[in-house]
Structure 1
Amino acid sequence: MTTTPVTIRGYRPADREALHEICIRTGFQGGDATGRFREPAILPTIFAEPYAALEPELVFVADDGDGVLGYIVGTADSVRYYADFRERWLPTVADRFPAPAAGVGEPADPDEDLRNLLHHVELMLVPEIAAEYPAHLHIDLLPPGQGRGLGRRLMTTFLDALRSRGVPGVHLGMSPANTGARAFYDRLGFAPLIEGGDAPTNYLGLRL
């Protein structure tokens, strides 16, 4: 049995639909988010597509010639990125995903929680982490692309791009329940920055 060679390459505008689909199909603790949300399209609207719009030079995909199997997206400067998200990206999608009504307490469900995050994206910025690890990333692979070393190849390409820009460190946030992903990051040398307790997100960092 032969495996089709996979190329790690830079993002092209024609890849946007693939980013959209892959983000949804891997958007629930690494598994398919279809059926988990009323509007699963909000996931790539927050976690994939804005990177392609705002910092496409730091978006890379794994392409087997028949299509994209996975991607890595990110930014070299999280503070600047979230400012650009609010100023340049949010106005293009706000009407499609309106903010929850103000003053109604906690979000009613996961969809409302995500819409709140879309309209207050700065909630994802942890200043004390961004000061030392200014870059951040998201990486996703479809099942046919997993277990083939593509995640490491995508990470290597992305981290090399950060190093070429003189970025001192990179961080990421992940669900504590995603133990498979945690093992992957541990092997790459990421160290815990914030974890434990009741926090819904663990933060890991890597010095470059």
Structure 2
Amino acid sequence: MEIRPYRPGDRDAVHDICIRTADLGQDASGSYADPDILPNIFALPYAELEPELAFVLDDGGRAVGYVLGTADTGVFARRFRAEWLPRVAERYPAPAGEPATRDEAMAYELHTPERMVVPGLDDYPAHLHIDLLPGYQRAGHGRAMMDTFVAALRRAGVPGLHVGMISANRPARTFYDRLGFHVVEVADPGPLTYLGLRL
């Protein structure tokens, strides 16, 4: 097992891992009409726009997990709109009104990257996504991947990191608590809990 920088050849594996872990760590492929929208929001844009902060867990030449993110959420949201969204917007049109289905909710997220910029998180400009295939969870790989990501942020002089996690995802909350994250209160968190880590 090796944690190494993301390579373009990992794209399909990262795409697959994202879908297979997107439903509170479980397979989301049956939950959406087109589950490919998930990696196009939560994985691939990070790997392509900030590859220096994209790492995979490699098991014999195959990526089985990843951690990827951005050093500056505000800058990333702007780049997402300008550079990433034009590539995928036609395939996933924005909903005409209030999202009524899970697919429409994801399309809304895709078309509103500014939602990533949450007031109250200025001290924690970086954010990340981490996912491991089920057979590789609870074996210490997640902590090692986080250590790799945090070290890269520290080398870049980033002062803080945040994650926005579904509040009902108790295993994820336990994982972040063990890593030293703490709750950051924001005005309107919705279904998310925001956790921060000072670097």
TM-score category (smaller protein): over 0.9
**Segments of 4+ moved more than 6 angstroms:** 195-198
SS in 1 for 2:184: strand
Q: Structure 1 residue 179 and structure 2 residue 174: aligned?
A: no
Partner Cα distance (2:187, 2:74) in 1: 25
User: In angstroms, what is the RMSD of aligned CA positions?
Assistant: 1.5
How many residues align? The count is: 199
Q: Distance in 1 between matches of 2:51 and 2:155?
A: 16
Segments of 5+ residues of structure 1 without an aligned counterpart are 1-5
Given the superposition, is the C-alpha separation of residues 79 and 12 from structure 1 closer, same or farther in structure 2, using an over 3 Å criterion? same
- Per-residue Cα deviation, 1:31-70 (whole angstroms, up to 9, x for no partner): 1101111111111000000001100010000001141110
CA distance, structure 1, for counterparts of residue 19 and residue 193 of structure 2 = 21
Contact (CA 8 Å) 2:120, 2:186: kept in 1 or not? no
Aligned twin of 1:204: 195
CA contact (8 A) 1:73 1:138 kept: yes
- Compute the TM-score of the two structures, normalised by the length of structure 2: 0.96
Distance 1:184 1:176, change over 3 A: same
Give the TM-score, by structure 1 length.
0.92
- 1:3 corresponds in structure 2 to none
Whichever residue aligns with residue 149 of structure 1, its letter is G
- % identity of equivalent residues: 57
Say whether the 8 Å CA contact 1:195–1:201 is kept in structure 2.
no
Mapping of 1:14-33 within 5 angstroms? 14-33=9-28
AA of the residue aligned to 1:74: G
**Alignment partner of 1:116 out of 100, 108, 111:** 108
Shift of 1:147: 1.6
> Rg larger in 1 or in 2?
1
Aligned partner letter, 2:37: I
Note the 1:1-208 alignment, pairs <5 A: 6-101=1-96, 104=97, 106-129=98-121, 131-194=122-185, 199-208=190-199
Deviation at 1:124, TM superposition (A): 2.2
Matched to 1:70, the amino acid is G
CA 1:67/1:75 → structure 2, altered by over 3 Å: closer, same or farther? same
Partner of 1:183: helix, strand, or coil?
A: helix
Q: Which runs of 5+ in 2 are unaligned?
A: none
CA displacement at 1:179 relative to structure 2: 0.4
Match of 2:17, SS?
helix
Instruction: Map Cα deviations across residues 96-119 of structure 1 (whole Å, 9 max, x no partner).
Output: 111111xx3x21111101101101
